Structure 1
């Protein structure tokens, strides 16, 4: 069974909340991609729309929105996420993962785009 740590950011307050999902709730998120908008009811936050902004895998490798699928490997990168060049034009091979959520993902970063955190906590 998958297990995820969700980091939910609220841009109106500037605060972030971390929750853990296990079992059936966590398995609902498998297959979503970076940029997808999900209903907060999937994770126990009704009335809120959330956008997936990124995440990381078991080995700490970041998810990249420009790599399709659930694959991971060494890719030539010229900028974030996953690599911050020290000089202009510098490129390096870094170990990163694709943009699709799988069982191997540990952390998923989400941003509230509609609704409020206060109304989600009252329910």
Structure 2
């Protein structure tokens, strides 16, 4: 019934891994809060430790760490999650945000690598070699003349 889209950010490589969890795997994340540390085995990343940094619910409202619970709340906020830069100093804006606990309404969960495992998240890019290679196909002759 509930499947989570998990985005795992790797601070070392500055890349993000996107994983879609099945119902059984998503049950392990249910009830966790922002800031909790989770073992990477849930996502199939053996040896990794991941920290939950945020997410969003089924309507796109962002999860906020300082709002307790699983439901949505309308808060008066000056800065932070769910707000753009405030043009007037001290202006408070009422925004709807989701609570800090992963629930059935949660659709996306954001995480970052706290402790890396033995196997790297990303293989080395072979794209640089492909860019330097000569073009092939019908347009190859016209590209070489230029």
TM-score norm. by structure 1 comes to 0.92
User: Once superposed, which parts of structure 1, at least 4 consecutive aligned residues long, lie more than 4 Å away?
Assistant: none
Matched, 1:88 2:89: yes
Alignment of 1:51-66 (within 5 A): 51-66=51-66
Whether the aligned pair in 1 keeps the contact of 2:46 and 2:117 (CA below 8 Å) is no
Contact 1:56 1:105 in 2 (8 A): yes
| RMSD of equivalent CA atoms | 1.7
Q: Paired residues, what number?
A: 122
Contact 2:19 2:43 in 1 (8 A): no
Structure of greater Rg = 2
The residue that corresponds to 1:47 in the other structure is: 47
State the partner residue of 2:98: 97
Whose strand proportion is higher, 1 or 2? Answer: 1
Does structure 2 conserve the Cα–Cα contact (< 8 Å) formed by 1:77 and 1:91?
yes
**Aligned-partner Cα distance in 2 for 1:120–1:93:** 39
Aligned residues of 2:17 and 2:121 also touching (Cα < 8 A): no
- Stretches of structure 1 that go unaligned for 5 or more consecutive residues are none
Tell me, in whole angstroms, the C-alpha distance in 1 between the residues paired with 2:47 and 2:34.
Answer: 21
Q: Comparing both chains, which one has the higher relative contact order based on Cα–Cα distances under 8 Å and sequence gaps of 6 or more?
A: 1
What secondary structure does 2:20 align onto? strand
On the 8 A contact 1:70/1:101 being kept in 2, the answer is yes
C-alpha distance after superposition, 1:48-98 (max 9, x if no partner): 000000000111100000011112121111112011222211111111011
Contact 1:46 1:120 in 2 (8 A): no
TM-score by length of 2: 0.78
